[in-house]
Amino acid sequence: MVFFPAARNERSGAGWYPTLSSLASLASWPSFLSKNPVSEQIFTDVNLPMLCYGQSKFTAENILNNAAKKHGISVDVLRCEQIGGPAGAGKKQWNARDWFPILLQTSKALGLVPSDLGAQDIIQWIPADSVSQIIVELMHRSDTRQGLTTFNLINPRFVKWSSLVPGVKQILGVAKEVSLQDWLKELKKHDATSRDEVKEFPELKLLGFF
């Protein structure tokens, strides 16, 4: 049995179950189904998610969908692109244990910045405070629908990582850039089983990410 804590909203005073999912739950969409944009619905094709993270989000979406159908509850699934640090000066920074801050820390330690990020090369992140605002707006919307509704959250503006590299090099104080393949090759020279090495080069914990 699965229990979900319910928030209260202004729609009817009933329980409301918002959950943050990820576009990783449908990472293989172009390969398996269509070149068209992902529709805002729940999918059951188990070939769609990639890696354990995406599979866990995919599973959670389907569990919530079944719960909404069975119990008539209101569920909103927010399927997000990468959530970054909050926008604007003076706000809290991105979680230092997330993959991108770890990549920056490792790049500084290696003295190398990757010129590309492979599958992550398109930067289309959503600031954390923007996601929070969206959740608040959904909480206060006036409709009284039951069941599950999905929302695909994605930044309409994007840039390539290569356009950010000069600024990253300057901030980190690193002069040299190499391909992601060569960057990973240098990283793999360090011992992923050594606590001290992992502390200095934390991307060793996420080698499978790329």
Over range 162-168, report the average pLDDT.
Answer: 96
User: For the residues of 53-103, what is the DSSP string, one character each?
Assistant: HHHHHHHHHHHHHHHHHHH--EEEEEEES-EESPSSTTSPPPPTTSHHHHH
The answer to whether 53 and 109 have CB atoms below 8 angstroms apart is no
Question: Which residues make beta-bridge pairs with 113?
Answer: 177
Residue 75 falls within a domain, yes or no?
Answer: yes
Q: How many domains does the chain have?
A: 1
Alpha carbons 132 and 141: distance in angstroms, whole number: 15
Mean pLDDT of the chain: 86
Residue 18 vs residue 199, higher pLDDT: 199
**pLDDT tier, 24 (very low <50, low <70, confident <90, very high otherwise):** confident
- What pLDDT score was predicted for residue 116? 95
CATH number of the domain at 165, please.
3.40.50.720
Alpha carbons 28 and 51: distance in angstroms, whole number: 11
Whole-angstrom Cα Rg for the chain: 20
* 90 half-sphere exposure, CB direction, 13 A CA radius: 0
- What pLDDT score was predicted for residue 143? 67
Q: What is the pTM of this model?
A: 0.78
- What pLDDT score was predicted for residue 101? 95
Most confident listed range (10-24, 25-39, 158-172): 158-172
Residue 162 falls within a domain, yes or no?
Answer: yes
- The three-class DSSP label of residue 190 is coil
Residue 91 falls within a domain, yes or no?
Answer: yes
Over range 144-158, report the average pLDDT.
Answer: 86
Alpha carbons 101 and 48: distance in angstroms, whole number: 27
Residue range of the domain that includes 198:
7-209
Residue 2 falls within a domain, yes or no?
Answer: no
**pLDDT per position as a tens digit, 79-106:** 998 899 888 766 678 888 899 999 999 9
Residue with tokens 């190398």: 112
Share above pLDDT 70 across residues of the chain, in percent, rounded to a whole number = 87
Token pair of 149 as six digits = 């509704």
Over range 140-153, report the average pLDDT.
Answer: 81
Selection from 193, 170, 57, 190 nearest residue 104 by Cα: 170
